[in-house]
Chains A and B, each alone.
Chain A
Amino acid sequence: GIQVEQSPPDLILQEGANSTLRCNFSDSVNNLQWFHQNPWGQLINLFYIPSGTKQNGRLSATTVATERYSLLYISSSQTTDSGVYFCAVESGTASKLTFGTGTRLQVTL
C-alpha cells in the first residue's frame, strides 16, 4: 500500500515563530488532507488539498502532486497550535485514508 512519511517528527517553537511541516507519499493520490489533533484527541480537518495551494488565516498548504509531497506552513505560531499534525492520503479507489506518523508540535511562551 501507499506509504506516507512526515517530517520532522517533533518540533518545538517559541510563540510567534514560523514553521514548515512536510509530508511525502509514495504513490499518486486523489485526496490529501491535513489534520490537527489537539491534546484531547480531537482531529480537526485543516485542508483538503490533493494539489495546489490553499490558505486559511495563519495556515497555508501546498501540494505538488507530481513530486509526491505536501507542505503545511504555520506562521506566527500560538500556544493553541500545539498538538500533532497529520497528513492523510487516499490513493486510487481505496475509499480510505492512510495517515502519516504525524509531527508533534509544541509552542512555548
Chain B
Amino acid sequence: KAGVTQTPRYLIKTRGQQVTLSCSPISGHRSVSWYQQTPGQGLQFLFEYFSETQRNKGNFPGRFSGRQFSNSRSEMNVSTLELGDSALYLCASSLVTVETQYFGPGTRLLVL
C-alpha cells in the first residue's frame, strides 16, 4: 500500500505570495492532519479534516486554510506569506481518528 505523498517537496516563495500544498493520504484513510515544523516552535498542529469537514484547528492566523476533497486528498493554502512561514509542512493520515498517524515526507517551504 502506498504511503502518504506530499507535493511539492520543496518550494521557494517571496513575501506576500500565496502557496498551496497538496497531500494524498494512504488509501482508505479518511482523516488528514497538517503540522508545521520550525526550529523555534517545533511541531505544531495546523488542522485536521475528516470526510471533507474540518474537525479541529490549531492556533494559526486565518492566512492558513485547508480543505479536503471527496477522495480524502487534502490541500492547505497559506496566503500573504511571511518570512516566519518558512518551515517543513507535514501531512499525516489515519483511518478515522488521529490514532496511529502516518506521515508524509513533508514540503519544505522557504519564504524570501
Chain A interface residues (CB < 8 Å from chain B): 31, 33, 35, 40-45, 48, 86, 88, 90, 94-99, 101-102
- Could you tell me the distance between the alpha carbons of A97 and B108 in the complex, rounded to whole angstroms? 21
User: B residues within 8 A CB of A90?
Assistant: 97-99
User: B residues within 8 A CB of A99?
Assistant: 35, 42-44
Closest to A43 in B: B103
User: B residues within 8 A CB of A86?
Assistant: 43
Nearest CB of B to A69, in Å:
19
Given the known interface contacts A94-B56, A95-B48, A97-B33, the answer about A40 and B105 at a Cβ–Cβ threshold of 8 Å is yes
Nearest CB of B to A98, in Å:
7
**For residues 76 through 112 of chain B, which have their beta carbon under 8 Å from a beta carbon of chain A?**
88, 90, 92, 97-103, 105-106, 108
Docked-complex contact B42 and A96, CB < 8 angstroms: no
User: A residues within 8 A CB of B37?
Assistant: 41
B8 on the A face (CB < 8 A): no
Select one of B50, B101, B105 contacting A33, CB under 8 A: B101
B64 on the A face (CB < 8 A): no
- Could you tell me the distance between the alpha carbons of A102 and B37 in the complex, rounded to whole angstroms? 12
Docked-complex contact A48 and B100, CB < 8 angstroms: yes
Closest to B42 in A: A101
- Could you tell me the distance between the alpha carbons of A45 and B94 in the complex, rounded to whole angstroms? 12
Nearest CB of B to A85, in Å:
12
User: B residues within 8 A CB of A97?
Assistant: 33, 35, 45, 98, 101
Closest to B59 in A: A1
Closest to B43 in A: A99
Select one of B35, B42, B101, B106 contacting A45, CB under 8 A: B101
Nearest CB of B to A59, in Å:
16
11 A-B pairs (CB sep. < 8 Å): A33-B101, A41-B106, A41-B108, A45-B102, A48-B99, A88-B43, A94-B56, A95-B98, A97-B35, A97-B98, A99-B42
B16 on the A face (CB < 8 A): no
Docked-complex contact B43 and A42, CB < 8 angstroms: no
